[in-house]
Structure 1
């Protein structure tokens, strides 16, 4: 019968009890039925409970100036901040709030009583979790309390007066021309050669590379349209906001301007066609066991690689050949460096990388693609070794 008081059998079907928040702040109790099993009823119960908690938090925050800091931060993250950020940012913010800040808060501390002394003590405790904890906690609190001031819950944001915490800056290596040639020679012997070329000579993000499909390429005109990415989504447990696992999902690009059309150097387009030949061969050999989603970068059965596979492959490649540790982001950084060394204006570098938030018209993309002819000539003449294998 499931958990007592959650799922129960009545009049030929399974039911569960529900709570509904009314506009005046009162709670209405009822029940919902028609479920074929206790499991279905329990799943529905958890959904209703989560919705009730969200409605309760929203009512508490909107109806009183005397609410807890914890209640406000949860309400702010789930209902306000999450609506304007990317999923990866939300994942980080959730960790900062639920794992670093809330466990170290004084129970019952009111938002209106929050001051510099209290916040310094909170940040000092939270900062001990890891090297970046202090900076990230202070950063999130600053955004949240700025919103609280904008909404009229507070008159002043005390965060700028708190003790600052340094942000750890990852070291990014830019290889010399000779070392880059050596790196590419070794990369051409690996199964990740094409992915490395996409990062190093087209500046694509890891998720954008994972999301590339053959349909995105115009072979005749040698262009590719960036129109999706593959990222990880957290799977949370009920209303507890505990992440139990991550799953790969296909999503729109990171920003609106990440939708972009890029020219593809001839050497890279040749590698794309070779990868297609190999994937088609695997498809023929595996038959129905091959999951054809048209991805260029995939496992032997057609499915997407895990989120860490590309960086793991780079780590092994660099370690085996005495090279500095490189990541996919390092490749993008080197791509931008090559562009600037070739005299490409920074605004166009930004557009090629998908960073700019303006100039998304077709005419602007054409201008960007024309500018990329310089880098294609530089790539083909200087770096890309012949005979690379994917």
Structure 2
């Protein structure tokens, strides 16, 4: 079968199984991307979540010998939450980023790639294929850029002309030689809105991200969140959409092509106070289906505590006092101490003093001492 004909058949099949966009790229080494990765490494901008060596991440043939082509796919996801519950005094809510709405996208894309691979093997029996989504060695973004899915925006996301940057990406390396597509020319131009809007300055410049400052990364960490970032995350429980929301290319983009991606409003915008004492079993039952649960409940609970302090939600104080007194995890006790220090009630000072007298963990004690020095307490005492 002529490879140009095979390409058309793959494209037609991809549409039948609900793949919104597909592109083809040569499986040559990603030379310029490798140089960028080396620079990121030298600057200390990596997140630590990266998989594989830089060579594996930039040379497809190290992953699949005789690799000839990489097929990139994109699925559009919703950007607007229908029937969103209101966050109000006494019933404050947090938010999961759009990329975590609905069923975990890793599962969705893997099913699409598996179906695509099975189709390809019916056409070329001796073909070898290797698929990956997000957690694989290859950069979904670098592959999608080369395959003409979209251009790499200043917000470090792939921006497609059709769906903006609200797309999930996956790819398949194959030993079949298929005519490549043409990359899309960068359309960002002089626009710098994402860089200017980044809450923490993580977008060092257009197209360069310091992952360690990125809220999307910070919300997934399991340790104490750095003090300078606590008031930046607002009510975010997982991820950050700021650089996408401000992008002009995303204006009016909202697609509901895939029922499994539709969000449950009460899950992606959950009540904060109940999150603080949720059991492991209940957390998995309620949130286990979404990608934002992959790090477990501790980061989500830590972020929920910070969100309640952000709202100055007095209704949360009894639960925060309970966490400070009896939660076995130092990160949760320490974050609770910081949050309590953000309130001005006299009972907060009393609870912090009691906690200081019994606390043994040095990091928690540090947070308690800092909270007790809160200028608002000084005003109360005066």
TM-score by length of 2: 0.26
- Structure scoring higher RCO (CA < 8 A, sep ≥ 6) equals 2
